[in-house]
Chains A and B, each alone.
Chain A
Amino acid sequence: MNRIYLHPLPVRMWHWLNALSFFVLIVTGVQIRYRGILNLMPFRTAVDIHNIAGFSLLGLFLVWAAYYIASGHMKVYLPDLNIKRFVESSWKQAKYYGYGIFRGEPNPHHATPDHKFNPMQQLAYFSIMFFLMPLLIATGVLLWDLDRFAAFIDLIGGIKAVSAAHLLVAICFAAFLFVHIYLTTLGRTPLEHIKAMFTGYEEEPEHGR
């Protein structure tokens, strides 16, 4: 077995702080939307905490972007521009998740620091980090200061449209969390990938490299 240093410390710190922010945002977000049905905390407290967590997420996103640009590792998020090759490798990965994994077949993808994600992960994380996260943050910032952004909000359809977009993306993130957490259990042991996100090291079978 090879121990690969797959998750450098900044990435791990970013990941867990991101996770914490998401957790706080989801709880306070649900509270903001369903006050009267769910009463965990006062509305104003929920809004204030949500704003703080939201800006934390914004800061973390900027840190993430700065780190990956500076380290030159941003390419791990970029899907193969060769469409045919990308489709083939994605199909191979999908077949593995949908069939091979049940038969104990080897994972067609082997992670390296420069090739961290399989094609399906690449597509998912590329969409998340380049589209959904900016959209979530942007709509959140607009809703944070309605007075300042009133004219722009009107231009793009109004408060409810912005709020609906914010909510829709947030729900997608929440739904993705179930998948994300489930996928962490697909290692050789259920906690292998979670441990790796603390230690930074993943173990890869030598013959698979």
Chain B
Amino acid sequence: MLFPIGGPAVRKDAAGNLFAVLLILILFLPCTAASAPAKLSGEAETCLTCHAAPATKTFSDGSTVSVQINGKRFASSVHGSLGCTSCHTDVNLENHPSAKYATKKQFVLHVAKACRTCHDDRQLTASPLHQRAISRPDAQPCSTCHGSHTIGKALARKDKGSASQYCLTCHSKPLTRSIDGKTISLTIDEAWIKGSVHPSHECTDCHTAYSKESHPSPKASASGRELTHAASETCERCHLEKAVKEKDSIHAVVLAEGNQRAPGCSDCHGAHRVGPGALADTLDGVPCRKCHQETFDAYRTSIHGMAKPTATAHRPLCAACHTAHDVKPAMASRSPRDMCLSCHPAFEKAHGQQLPNPKAHLEMVACTACHVPLEYKRSIYLRLTDAVTGKLLSDSSVQALLKERGVTAKQIKPKELWQLYSDLNATKAVNVAVAVSMDARRNAHYLGPKDIAVKQCEICHSADSSFFKTVAVAAAGPDGREVLHDVDPKALGSAYGAILLKRFYVMSGTRLTAMDYAGVMIILGGMAFPVLHGTARLMTRHLRLGTKKPEGRGKP
């Protein structure tokens, strides 16, 4: 066995016995001496007797390594004058191979230890970048950057290619970074970039702080999420219009609140594998599901989720209603009518053929209230809006007034609701817009086909309709999201409600209950006259019979 690190699987064409080697050396020494550079050590020349020829070593796990050495290139390297055993310390002519390695990695790591014989810690840590590179738990063996036999400075080796090639020298290898205890991969597959919508981008186009000459220490990030959001700033440089829109989104608001879970550009579009926009228009590619999986599951069962895209129309996915970048906060108290209108422009006409007073219905009743299966609960929302701008009033003012009035109960009572309205109106004109909508925002995604739509008037127009069991006042939180305050459902049928909810009246469903009592009293009053007068007539009948036959006494 000539090669000391070889295992049992060393190929026969690379093996031989010592005798044979010596014989070959005697016979062909002039040839080998002529072909190798003069700088080569004698030991190296000896080894190259065999290792100049193509040969492969196969390890136990099946991995392989070429054991062919280019003597010329080795001689021109900084280690050209060294003998092979300077690094392959466990190899000698008597014992070759001298060790067994299960894997190529194991072998490479073993050989790399030899570098430390000459290159001490002081030298290796002189450069911060080098120090960082070698102190990683997953630090690569020296040969990854410097080569194994054609040893040279890493920079010199990388300088030959493009900026991306330079970066990929290291970043195509398994590289990780630890942030806040979590390991983040820094490994990039060039194919990702080539297959993305940015195939010609160089790494340095986005990672502007880096170049062949400069590799500053990464900014300290508290978390991977922080890193993601910092990276979004890079995208803004080219996609400013989208970035401006995104700044107006609920995602930006949530992020500003300190919630790092809010998505950055790469969360939806990918970091290095940025796909085409059309990818987001597919069920598999839509990015929203990463965070809104439950809502997506609801959508998936809906008429939209089950719809088949046609040649001219996509399946309406998340962005069709919520928009892609300026995503607005979802509001249970708001009908998605305007969004529905963009795809169903004739819906008013269609509903007008079935509904009496279609405008009144469509103004108050959210599309979802009728088009989502009845197993999902509905609610009544009283939206407190500025009469001039139509915007939801700030919840802080609502809360302050409720507190001022000492309203602490779970539900706002009818009178308290009226007081709240009056108090708000004292400073500016306020409207109370009513919406019949879904109890939970997510349930709005269960839109069903036409045939399950509510068609029976009695579903709403009934004294015991389930639609009017929960009522809430809606105002706007500091981040634009709606804040709901429960209201006693009796408010809908109260006198306060009659004054407050001018445009909202569901016959049977939200009737003014005080009118029931008034009606009974008036009817009883109407009945009282015939009963009392008739009784008196009967009781005085003898008086008339004792005098004379009664004449015509009156007209109805």
Contacts and interface: CB of A to CB of B under 8 A. Distances in A.
Contacts of B357: 145-147
Contacts of A8: none
Nearest to A51: B356
Interface string A167-198: 11001101111111111111110001100000
Interface in B408-463: 456-458, 461-463
Q: Give the residue among B358, B530, B536 with the most A Cβ atoms within 10 A.
A: B530
Of A171, A181, A192, A208, the most chain B CB neighbours within 10 A belong to A171
A104 B512 contact: no
Interface in B501-525: 501-505, 507-508, 511-512, 515, 518-519, 522-523, 525
Interface string B324-337: 00000000000000
A161 B496 CA distance: 11
A33 B526 contact: no
Contacts of A32: 461, 507-508
Contacts of B530: 178-179, 181-182
Given A103-B540, A175-B527, A35 B463 contact: yes
A56 interface: no
A25 to B, nearest CB: 14
A52 to B, nearest CB: 13
Interface stretch (A57-65, A80-88, A129-137, A199-207): A199-207
A153 B501 CA distance: 12
B203 to A, nearest CB: 62
B552 interface: yes
Contacts of A186: 553-556
B498 interface: yes
A70 interface: no
B508 A117 contact: no
A104 B544 contact: yes
B515 A164 contact: yes
Contact of B526 (A34, A43, A168, A175): A175
Interface residues of B, number: 52
A101 interface: yes
A168 B547 CA distance: 43
Contacts of B456: 42-43
Residue from the set A36, A42, A150, A193 with the largest chain B CB neighbour count within 10 Å = A36
Contacts of B527: 175, 178
Contacts of A159: 502-505
B359 A147 contact: yes
B551 interface: yes
Nearest to B524: A175
Contacts of A175: 522-523, 525-527
B543 A43 contact: no
Contacts of A146: 357, 359-360
Contact size class for A?
A: 35 or more
Contact of A47 (B356, B463, B556): B356
B465 interface: yes
Contacts of B554: 96-97, 101, 107, 109, 118, 183, 186-187
A173 to B, nearest CB: 9
A150 B551 contact: no
Contacts of B555: 111, 116-118, 121, 183, 186, 193, 202
Interface string A5-45: 00000000000000000000000000011111100001110
B502 A102 contact: no
Contact of B463 (A36, A192, A203): A36
Contacts of B461: 32, 35, 43
B353 to A, nearest CB: 13
Given A171-B519, A188-B551, A164 B512 contact: yes
B533 interface: yes
A150 B503 contact: yes
A35 to B, nearest CB: 4
B552 A107 contact: yes
Contacts of B463: 34-37
Given A104-B543, A158-B501, A168 B518 contact: yes
Contact of A183 (B543, B550, B556): B556
A154 interface: yes
A137 B547 CA distance: 47
A153 B363 CA distance: 15
Max chain B C-beta neighbours (<10 A), residue from A32, A102, A192: A102
Contacts of B548: 104
Given A36-B458, A146-B357, A188-B551, A182 B529 contact: yes
Interface of B: 356-360, 456-458, 461-465, 497-499, 501-505, 507-508, 511-512, 515, 518-519, 522-523, 525-527, 529-530, 533-534, 536-537, 540, 543-544, 547-556
CB-CB nearest 7 A-B residue pairs:
A175-B526, A158-B502, A182-B530, A36-B463, A36-B462, A104-B544, A102-B540
Interface of A: 32-37, 42-44, 47, 96-97, 101-104, 106-107, 109, 111, 116-118, 121, 145-147, 150, 153-154, 157-161, 163-164, 167-168, 171-172, 174-188, 192-193, 202-205, 208
